[in-house]
Chains A and B, each alone.
Chain A
Amino acid sequence: MSNEIVPARARRWLFTTNHKEVGILYLVTSLFFFVAAGLLALTFRSQLSVPNNNLLSPDLYNQFVTVHGLLMIFWVLSPFAFGFANYILPLQIGARDLAFPRLNAMSYWFYLFSGVAMIMSFFFGSAPDLGWTLYSPQTSAQYTPSIGLNIGAAALILIVVSITMSSVNFLVTMFKMRAPGMKLRHMPVFPWAILITIFMMLYAFPSFLAAVLLLYVDRAFGTFYFSSIQGGALLWDNVFWFFGHPEVYIVLFPALGLIADVIPTFARRPLYGSKYIIGSMIAAAIISFIVWGHHMFVTGIGVTSTKLYTVTTIAVSLPFDVMVIAMIETLVKARVKLKAASLFALGAVALFVIGGITGVYLASVALDHALRGTYFVVAHFHYIMVGGSIMGLIAGLYYWFPKFTGRMYHENVARIHFGLSFIGFNILYFPQFLLLDMPRRIATYSASTGWGPLNFTSTIGGFIFGGAQVLLFLNLFLSQRRGSPSGPNPWDAWTLEWSLPSPPPPHDFDTVPTIAEDGTYHFGNGQGYPNGSRIGNGYAHSHLEGLSPWPIVMAFAAFIFFLGLTIGQPTSPTPVSYKPFWPLIFDGAILGVISLYGYTREKFSVHEESRVESWPFKEVPNVKLGIWTFLGAEVIFFGVLIGAYFFVRTNSPTWPAVGSLFTIRNGFAMTLILLTSSLTAIMALVSAKIGSRNGLIASLLGTFGLGVAFLYVKAGEWIELGSSGVFSVANGLPATSYFITTGTHGVHVFAGMAMTIYLLANTFKGRYLKGDYHAIEHFGLYWHFVDIVWVFLFPLFYLI
């Protein structure tokens, strides 16, 4: 379809699945959102520059602050880093692409459309206006009736889907596609940082997805998770910050990893204690999941909890000390080449130290009570996220720009860019440490507070910092056209990507490198490819292949489906509920089905190298590892849903007795149906392996039929409970938790049934027999997981 409709140049960028091009798309898009978020920041900084200012209305001010925060955290920091990861990481580990190239392209398009949705929210009454933490109960439809927050929630759901796809893809790539001889210990620090970041993403983002889903159903269907006393603010705080604190490290680690690659290059000596840096990152990542309560010191959580979180929060600072000391040690007695990349890297470390130290103050319960919600906290996390992360990522931009383009940037302009950025940053944020009695998120203040001069100074700094970025864009834009040729390795760096021409050819490596025991690489022993042969994700030396239209179509389908769910106007004021916009939902669903069909029917081969380093998953095929990784994320997702149920239930003084609402008989019947479906699913695998086509068809039909039976009984129960009038989705927490948890599980059953139809269609064509059984096995992994979830839901809702 694509050849006739879309011009070749556009087709290349719209349909690409090549990791380098997807990386460039990520980088350019994240920089676009960086500019958008920055302009919002400059506007509300202008509002705060003088007392009693009325440049922005309080309402608009709140929207600008909120969308600025959301854009920077979700659409700039991580995607900026993953632009580098897309482009550079496969080169650094000696892979020709990511494990699932089309999935990678889809991640990008989900990311782009989610960002578009977030910005669109401005045009539907009001963008989200509650701060990026979306604290409950302000987010309830009662207090924030605008549909802008619904669209914002849809945007967040879409980007979490994007991130989950990316996480699975990168993880499989790093574990399964390293060049021969490249042990994990041989990987540079940047891939290590990405690997550790992905672990955190995998376990943190499903929690956020569940949180946003519950927020959305509260708003759309009038449920009570976050608007009840039993759930409310404390439930949101838990599920949000379980994600939120690791998220700080998720946006920081790629920059730290990148800096750890840049500093040794310009110091002309090996990184001091690289093992300790990696070990520290792992330690910090683990501890990051048990510190979230320090964001809740003022919420009245128990003394035991505050003690626990104080200790863990102080503990998590220690690994960062090790990282910083190792980087400083690398510089001792070194003749550092002060280029823009190294200047930004060093500047980032310096600013991160300030941000880190001020964070330790907040581990103290007493100080946290005084400083929470003030500009001290704003300054602290901007020193981490902008000082450490953004400055580090800009170092990466200068460092790898010659690799991306084959040209050098203008060094002197880049140094001026650094100078203005560093000075502007400190003028912008350091005064905010001194504004430790000024509450954040206030639209203006009176002159009598005395906050005017510091705010004015801060705003000046903001304009210097923001203006400096114009130099960055001009420099890079002009240099990619007119810069002097860089050659393959202008920095005399040691990592593998610098062994390739700049920019690297579409297929990356002519011969797969082999890594020696000492970590050096060689190309002589690798497996070669003759010119013009089909390699990588369908690229050949002489012409472009490997394009797929379906990732963008599928992402667009999801985009309009979610828009349809969220742009409907409120139908009633109390309780507020929203009428979906059905035409868009139908369009999205139909387009989704078409694109799924096209995606599965498309002939798209992914080349797998015969010789790879794949410890510790040597015997596990790529797709299976990807599915297990995805199921790991699902465990967290359902864990949060079940956790939310536990939370509201144990926090409720009363709960309906066993058997008073749900018929145990129904639950028992549904359990038996699903258990039987697991048996038919495993028998499908047995039949496939022995080559029994009839057995396979019968088993799959059985699984499908049992899925139908399960949903039939479930639907009957829903209708019965709903028609009783006392048990609707908006009728108290027992109903809320029951309908949402079992409904989400039901959607998973439905998805599994859709898979069986696909498998059946192919089985009728003679597929999946004997050695071709893997798709049946992979389906089974998912289906059994759905069964396992029900094994827990049955006693929780019907028997306890």
Chain B
Amino acid sequence: MSDPLPLQIVCEMAKSLPAAPWLLPKLQIALKNPDTTAEETEALIKKDAGLSSAILRTANSAFFGDSKCDKLHDALLRLGNREIFKVASLTIAGRWLSNSVTGGYGWEPGDLCKHSLCVAIAAEILAKESGQVLPDVAYLAGLLHDVGKLALAYSCADGFEEVRLYQKEHQCSWREAEKHIFGYDHTDVGGILLESWSYPINLIQTALYYPRPSLAAHEYLPLIAHVHAAKHLSLQLGVGVGEEGFTTELDESVFEIVGLTPEMMELAMPKILIAAEKILSAISAGPGQGVKFEG
């Protein structure tokens, strides 16, 4: 491998990937502000044709009513701010996370998006159970926790063989191996990316510290511990997990601090699976589609 790219270059290269999620924090601010008018929300959403279409599709789903809704304005009124933001999170972040970067972590196409969705759903379910964190915030933090991995796989793919060898030799976490080989790791990249897109500090802290929640600022520990637990529950399911997944750092001591008991996590697993299946069933290509018998 040639000399590692500077961290700033890795982040700049990632911004050139299609469908960067820059609109999401702007939308979050607008939807939280009671002075934002419906017209202003509509104008913001119209900047993204894919999102407008997803909002209309959701408003016309059986869950939201029988009558046809063919105007964006009406769809927004029907859904309400909470649901609008949920659709926007999934559409905008999911699209970026679906960029086809298959080298590096051993992902099949779509794997990062599927895994991130599982973590988002798991974090939301745990937050509802514990009552310690807002479920919507936990969902978004889970969805975005691994954004740095996409950037690293995109710009530093030729260094991953060294990461792989270093991790195997030293039996360390994959993140530590990245740090040793590149001088930075995917959490550094994720933190800078979210900051550059003006995401709030709690989400930046999550991207930076989700593998090591005890290092985060104290006020963000509950959120990050929920994402940490959600990450590991999702790893157990295996969906979209790359080569590095099971070498993610685990700190089981933080769960008790934020009220997440083993019983709560075990009971959450079937709920996570059922909720994730509903969303993932729309994504047809499963991992390992290319598995064939030899000979």
Chains A and B come from one and the same complex: no
